[in-house]
Chain A
Amino acid sequence: MSTAIGPDAAAVPSVDDVPESQPIAWRHRHLLDVDRLSTDELDLIMRTTDAMREVLARPIAKVPALRGRAVTILFYEASTRTRVSFEVAAKNLSADVVNIAASTSSVVKGESLIDTVRTVEALGAQMLVMRHSSSGAPYLAADIFSGSVLNGGDGWHAHPTQALLDLYTMRERMPGGSLAGRKVVILGDLLHSRVARSNIWTLTAAGADLWLCGPATLVRGFEAWANRGAAGRRFHLTTSVDEALRDADVVMALRIQRERMAGGLLPSMREYAARYGLTRERLALARPDALVMHPGPMNEGVEIAPDVAAGPQSVITDQVTNGVAVRMAVLYLLAGTRVPS
């Protein structure tokens, strides 16, 4: 979206040519998962993200929408990019932001999650962004927190804002803005990936032809999901990287962690890179304009070759920028939810 227009009145706000549509109610107090978001709700998030992108392009990329709101960012796992992205998003909306890293709080003294959440609330937090290594932990927090909980990643389970920013990045680049029928490939360690799990829900909802691919030990368990589909929306699973990549419109590589070798799941990083790494040669199987994505942080030379990560098809830096806009959109939508007093 451009902020610059000429004096020609006819060229002014294209947004205004959109017919008045029925406003969609945002009914969620929390964003814990993406599995129960309707396609209309996903569209609302995408459109709100458009508006946030426009805000980010302003000379002063800051609006007062969340002025006076207290946002606490509570991370039980090391993370720089997601934490900073949430922090920037909240500050762009003029919220007051408090950061708590688990290593510096009383968490190390054995304080339970519930105690911590109660303390954070007593200190005035109205919105809680949390990351936790235990799947489902945000549900526990949401059960007792009187404000809104945003899941910033829980265990292997979900990373809702990552999936939303991935969806936004893909839609932005697809002609017509639609993923319907587009072949989207998620490549790598699915078993341990909350990014993959959340993307399954959002990409199948968007109508993508979704393919998951990885070594047999790292896609174990997904066969049953692929066959049943996410609420009936099916996807494909293969261990053949060639089959997955052929004619793909989007290829998303996932991070491989060294501890997978210790767990007996992979022989070596070298073997993984050779058999599943996203190289220029492999990428040539995909469509010439296929998008290359990665949720970060990358192990360049393992799951993705450096020249692919930095190549012309890569939208990895767009993902980072869009991450801020998506998180602003979600914070904004949640802040407007009526909370029974």
Chain B
Amino acid sequence: MSGRQIMTADEIRRATIRLSHEIVEKQAGTDGLVLIGIQRRGVPLARRIAASIAEHEGAALPVGALDITFYRDDLSMVAQQPVVKGTELPTGIDGKTIVLVDDVLYTGRTIRAAMDALVDFGRPQAIRLAVLVDRGHRELPIRADHVGKNVPTSREELVRVHLVEVDGLDEVEIERMVAAPQPEPVA
């Protein structure tokens, strides 16, 4: 990786704990709260937040995983297919307060797709959004309720979140985008 580090493992840990406190505070407790991570790195983040809440509140929150691949609006633009990772949600999201958890908030399209997906599973009382990094450049009227770190970026930059559960280490880095060669389709 040639990127510049913008969050260390320790900063990620502290941001996660702070997010967990904010979530409980906003709900005034843990009743009716469900954490749902967006595949892929939103899922371990949701688990970490749940573990932190369990530690300081003594409550075990339901955690789910949401794969928004089938809800993306850019199917024809992806040069190679995203590998579908699967959705597993806790039973009964009706009337619950869903906190969507993702690593990076950028254009807002992922969150739009996630909300579309969620409402196919039921009717939550409210949907909130918690992200580790907000890098700006929204293309849809969406904002996060809870943000680990705001990072000013340009569109030519790429924010990469690495998490131990997926990548073997915790860090957030930023790098310049290099256009990748795209495979040509064959018959």
Contact = CB atoms under 8 A, between A and B. Distances in A.
Are A and B co-members of a single complex?
yes
A30 B79 CA distance: 16
Contacts of B75: 65-66, 335-336
A90 B83 CA distance: 20
Given A8-B60, A23-B80, A65-B70, A15 B86 contact: yes
B89 A338 contact: no
B184 interface: yes
B126 interface: no
Interface residues of B, number: 49
A239 interface: no
B3 interface: no
B63 A9 contact: yes
Given A54-B86, A54-B87, A16 B40 contact: yes
Interface string B9-42: 0000000000000000000000000000001100
B83 A24 contact: yes
A8 B65 CA distance: 13
Interface in B115-150: 116-117, 120-122
Interface residues of A, number: 49
A175 interface: no
B83 A59 contact: no
Given A23-B80, A24-B83, A63 B70 contact: yes
A16 B83 CA distance: 12
Given A12-B63, A63-B70, A338-B76, A20 B166 contact: yes
Contacts of A16: 39-40, 43-44, 65, 85, 165-166
B186 interface: yes
Of A2, A7, A30, A340, the most chain B CB neighbours within 10 A belong to A7
Interface in B60-105: 60-65, 67, 69-72, 75-76, 78-91
Contacts of B166: 16, 20
A202 to B, nearest CB: 19
Interface in A72-98: 93
Interface string A305-341: 0000000000000000000000000001101111110
B80 A26 contact: yes
Interface stretch (A43-51, A209-217, A262-270): A43-51
A59 B185 contact: no
Nearest to A92: B70
B178 interface: no
A62 interface: yes
A214 B63 CA distance: 53
Q: Across the A-B interface, give the 8 residue pairs with the lowest CB-CB distance, nearest first.
A: A63-B70, A51-B84, A13-B65, A65-B70, A25-B80, A15-B86, A60-B120, A7-B60
17 contacts: A1-B88, A6-B90, A7-B90, A12-B47, A12-B64, A12-B65, A21-B83, A23-B83, A25-B79, A32-B187, A54-B88, A58-B121, A59-B120, A63-B70, A63-B120, A332-B81, A336-B76
